[in-house]
Chains A and B, each alone.
Chain A
């Protein structure tokens, strides 16, 4: 097993910079998830670590050794592709054992290893088949088996579950979590699926436009995002934002905004709030003019286990509210209030950095508590 480190890694395709000066330390046995919107460079970063793409500048370090100029085949890594990338003309057994054929093992040794991996992944009844005779979930198991059999130092997963339907995705997610627990291997996992990121990761790396926005545990990212991008990216539905104007006098600060917003907050650090954010699940419905914000109920969505309400607080801004119960008795178009607990309020300055206020440190403490 091995640690992985990126030191000032940059990469451009032609004149387009894709990765900008990324520094990252991944501990031995850690499962780190890269998330970010499409085009943020998360897959490229994974391929740089794998050696499938040469770095433009900086160094990739695996197990303390600089591997920047070492080919992918010698880096002791295994890569699981989104498309599975199985060899279509080979049986499942040969697909899994193919990499062992060049290691000078005997046929029996290879067969034994393949059989062992197949049993672990519950694909031992499929060994004589070919990839096209398998379902998507089975193919993904084979792809993981192919990585597993080589006993690599580091596992790299590039959106491995994106081509599966939601049931299978949940099942495979648990398999991967179990695998990580059993092997205690270093794993780096790229996904655009927040649920995968939140449930699998020891730490999450949020990427945006080729830069790291924040690195932290799932709880840290959710409860204490460093900036507006991370706050908006982690959580579903996404955090509600609205611009505010601030009137600062000493440590206290008066905020005015759409929806009759009028709030006093105590800023504990430097910076002037320009925007506030509240998560949909932190909002509750109050009578009109009773909450901190007032808006018009525009739409209700009944998802069975939860209900989403969309409340328009300004012509260009609608907030989503996540409710455990239906709002059946409230007619669309009526004016309602929105309320939240004070510690659920996020403040951002004009550059998107999150500002601490008098109650936000409790949240950070809670996050650190959850981590420990």
Chain B
């Protein structure tokens, strides 16, 4: 099979890559694009470790074909901080010990950011149901939920 050429935008940068027609977006990110911040925990859309946004919609990149990114705007964990300035969620995760092993952290942050963009004032229940697609086996979610709610409160105050 001949490889397919794809033009897309990743974290605001125009990007081009070659992929197999059956490669997932996660394969492309971690392979030719070298963006290994998105993780593969299951390859079946159950763990959320590969969460990215496509035109501001939160998706599991393991469930999207790489060729489908043609012409779209993708954002990954690598695009979350602005240079040296962390996104408030990243800062809060650090301060509140909302990560342990870190394998789910990229996906958790991308998903949490997508939540706060839609709902700047989520209830605890809303945070919990929004993040229900992102598995974490280390933290019991307690500190993650608190970090997201605290960040939301801080961002609203600004």
Binding partners A and B: no
Chain A contacts to B: CB under 8 angstroms = none
Chain B contacts to A: CB under 8 angstroms = none
